[in-house]
Amino acid sequence: MNNTRHIHINDYNYLLPEERIAKHPVSQRDLSQLLVYNGGKILHTDFRHITDWIPAGSLMVFNNTKVIQARLHFHKTTGALIEIFCLEPHLPADYERIFQEKQECQWKCLVGNRKKWKEGPLQRQLDWNGKTITLSAEMTEKEGESDIIRFSWDNEDATFTDILSLAGELPIPPYLNRQTEESDRTNYQTVYSKIDGSVAAPTAGLHFTDTVLKDLDNKGVERNEITLHVGAGTFKPVKAEEMAGHEMHAEYIHVSLSSIEALIRHQGKCTCVGTTSVRTIESLYYIGVNIIQHPDTTEDQLGVSQWQPYDCSSQVSALDALKAIRSYLITHHLDALHTTTRIIIAPGYTYHYVQRIITNFHMPKSTLLLLVSAFVGNDWRRIYNYALQHDFRFLSYGDSSILIPHSND
């Protein structure tokens, strides 16, 4: 499908006034507005009623990633402020291990004010349980637009999780145009966040409260959790005129065997909370096809490339792809799938599993808006025009929508 590569991003533009960008969330998460797109009809309610639009007995998928305090600030002896933004683990290159590392680890990072940091380590003092820890940061090598930073600290008991909790700052989106506030530590996490690793929140989930989750349980909706650690690439604007010139960053995903089995029980059909869950679940089809076509493939080789959906001409059914993953995990004595995805979902994409998407309102000319358009077609303009005309709030702390291309009625 070469047409997808030749999509012009300017065709997915709209005017977003600055005052429509929500700088803070509403005081109660589930009192945000909810736009319902149901088989072409648009309705307006609030998020407390989201359960009305999820069929009893259906499967709902949540991303349980947790945002880390990924911004670290150091001052040089000259007074220059250097910001180090941790993007992803480098050594060990494992999300589960790196947060438990003691004394030393390495991260792929973006460095702010890098021209002021030419050589030598940066240091700062931290107070941990009444003890002083010296945290050092040292550049080891350049990797594209990023630097590999070696962090070390002189306390053999403190983990890197402890270091981030002492020294790190939560990385709120740049388009909020404000400093991180204490309230963001709570507001910019979902109530079900569990697994450290993201540098941006899966914001569709920010509207859920314990009450809403209980309502879903009482209705008989099966809730299932996957993990996709959201990278800084989520904020990366599309600068190329055509999508062929845009590179998607790899994102780590973790899908348990029990999640695969849940999808199989539901014939592969589910509601996804957020675009991160969508990208994870839809990536499973191409992982399953890869396993069927290459039974001896290793887990490291299961990652989904950006254009794989458009180059793949497989006739494998969606359900058979899931069954292939289940067999692979059982055969290799794995309790979960650990891999990466670069998948880009844009007009021309065929959805395999997702029946409904709960999502916020996205930036103009973004890959997230392309994902929405691939789901609802040109109606994305009707949806966004309605939201703009009815005072919906946009982006990370904004209001919500549920997209149902084929009516629940």
111-120, 195-204, 231-240, 393-402, range with the lowest pLDDT: 231-240
Using pLDDT thresholds of 50, 70 and 90, give the confidence band for residue 115.
Answer: very high
CATH of the domain at 213: 3.40.1780.10
Q: Please tell me whether residues 160 and 233 are part of one structural domain.
A: no
Task: State the average pLDDT for the chain.
Answer: 95
Q: Over 70: is that where the pLDDT of 227 sits?
A: yes
45-59, 115-129, 222-236, 318-332, range with the lowest pLDDT: 222-236
Q: Are 76 and 116 in contact (CB under 8 A)?
A: yes
Question: Which residue range(s) make up the domain with 342?
Answer: 2-66+187-404
Give a yes or no: residue 98 inside a domain. Answer: yes
Q: Please tell me whether residues 240 and 123 are part of one structural domain.
A: no
Q: Please tell me whether residues 192 and 143 are part of one structural domain.
A: no
Instruction: Report phi then psi at 295, rounded to 5.
Output: -60, -25
Q: Are 151 and 98 in contact (CB under 8 A)?
A: no
Q: Please tell me whether residues 340 and 271 are part of one structural domain.
A: yes
For position 1, what pLDDT does the model report? 46
Output the 3-class SS for 384-397: HHHHHHCCCCECCC
Using pLDDT thresholds of 50, 70 and 90, give the confidence band for residue 407.
Answer: confident
d(CA 326, CA 331): 9
Q: Please tell me whether residues 43 and 95 are part of one structural domain.
A: no
Within 10 angstroms of residue 215's Cβ, the number of other Cβ atoms is 18
| More confidently predicted of 408 and 329 | 329
Q: Over 90: is that where the pLDDT of 232 sits?
A: no
Give residue-wise pLDDT tens across range 366-402. Answer: 999 999 999 999 999 999 999 999 999 999 999 999 9
Q: Please tell me whether residues 249 and 306 are part of one structural domain.
A: yes
- Token pair listed for 310: 């458009």
- Which of 169, 195, 215 terminates a domain? The answer is 169
Using pLDDT thresholds of 50, 70 and 90, give the confidence band for residue 406.
Answer: confident
Strand partners, 273: 358
User: Is beta strand 222-228 parallel, antiparallel or unpaired with respect to 251-256?
Assistant: antiparallel
Give residue-wise pLDDT tens across range 43-93. Answer: 999 999 999 999 999 999 999 999 999 999 999 988 999 999 999 999 999
Give a yes or no: residue 182 inside a domain. Answer: no
- Which of 109, 138, 169 terminates a domain? The answer is 169
Give a yes or no: residue 179 inside a domain. Answer: no
- Token pair listed for 144: 């594209």
Q: Over 90: is that where the pLDDT of 408 sits?
A: no
Q: Which among 356, 293, 360 has a CA at the least distance from the CA of 320?
A: 293
Give a yes or no: residue 180 inside a domain. Answer: no
Q: Please tell me whether residues 372 and 297 are part of one structural domain.
A: yes
Give residue-wise pLDDT tens across range 292-309. Answer: 999 999 988 999 999 999
Q: Please tell me whether residues 103 and 53 are part of one structural domain.
A: no
- Which of 137, 169, 201 terminates a domain? The answer is 169
Residue 51 identity (one-letter amino acid) = T
Strand partners, 84: 72, 111
Please give the average per-residue pLDDT across 186-204, as a whole number: 97
Give a yes or no: residue 177 inside a domain. Answer: no
Using pLDDT thresholds of 50, 70 and 90, give the confidence band for residue 349.
Answer: very high
What residues contact residue 285 under an 8 Å CB cut-off, 6+ apart?
Answer: 316, 318, 321, 352, 353
Q: Please tell me whether residues 157 and 235 are part of one structural domain.
A: no
d(CA 351, CA 381): 20
Number of domains in the chain: 2
Q: Please tell me whether residues 16 and 55 are part of one structural domain.
A: yes
3-class DSSP assignment, residue 193: coil
Give a yes or no: residue 255 inside a domain. Answer: yes
For position 275, what pLDDT does the model report? 97
Q: Please tell me whether residues 199 and 134 are part of one structural domain.
A: no
Give a yes or no: residue 409 inside a domain. Answer: no
Q: Please tell me whether residues 236 and 366 are part of one structural domain.
A: yes
